[in-house]
Structure 1
Amino acid sequence: MVAGHRVQLTGEEWSTVEPAIENGHDWYVAVACTDDEAVVFVRNRWSDGWVLPGGKAEDDESLPEAAWRELREETGVDARIEEPLACVEQTFVHGDESVTGHLVVFDATAERPKLSGEFGTDADEITEAAWFESLPDHVDGVPSDLLLRLLEGT
């Protein structure tokens, strides 16, 4: 477990994150999906940079099932979900308030690495997906030093 990652939220972001975590949705997933040479990242409407595909688990699915679904929805990539690489404890902060969630980063191997032209089930959610052979310049969501360590092991 990696502890101490703090994420400063805007008022709009807080109004989404805080109720979700308070209502028991404090576990979510990200996927470090690789083909032979690269890792897939996405851009979404609320992040300042590239992020690993991911999101929250639905009530009726396991975390690995959520990882597979989120990767497929956000990129169109089919992959074999493997072992968790890390669990990141994230504290979301807005003003003097904070809530804590847990992000499980799964390893995955692309079985069909072609990216879909349609990203996400919500057209306004995912704006772009791309394969990177090294860490993109602007990464959000998971600390860059952790991402580098994770990706060196894949």
Structure 2
Amino acid sequence: MKAKKQHTHAKLLRQYHAMCRVLGIGPDERKAIQESYGVKSSAELTDSQLLDLIARMEGDADRWRKRVMAVIGAYLRRINYPESAATIKAVACRAAGYDSINQIPVSRLREIYYEFLRRNRTAESVRYLVSEIEFELTKLN
């Protein structure tokens, strides 16, 4: 029984450290997280504490994946390209250079999100400018 509990704890620790790597959480931030739980090492965290941390981290990554999918969907609609979940995920993966959207680190998801958001906003402002110019030209004729 004790060996199984140690195996579970080791698995949770590996998962915690993998999530830290995916989210781009550095040693200083990990140390701050550990200090907030009153421990000096992540190995001292209990299973329930590790489960709580992992759940919080996964929620953050999931939130960014959803944001990226929404902004890419808006981009595809703007350029009149047929959109689907598979297409949106493929665009995100290609933009990030990963095989799966779940492999993309949060830091990269943020970059992709803000880039597509910038493109959408730029296109909207250009569209507004063009309509103003067309209006002025029609007044002159």
The TM-score, its normalising length taken from structure 2, stands at 0.22
Higher helix share: 2
Structure whose CA Rg is larger: 2
Which TM-score applies when normalising by structure 1? 0.20
Q: Which has the higher contact order (CA 8 A, sep 6+)?
A: 1
| Bigger strand share | 1
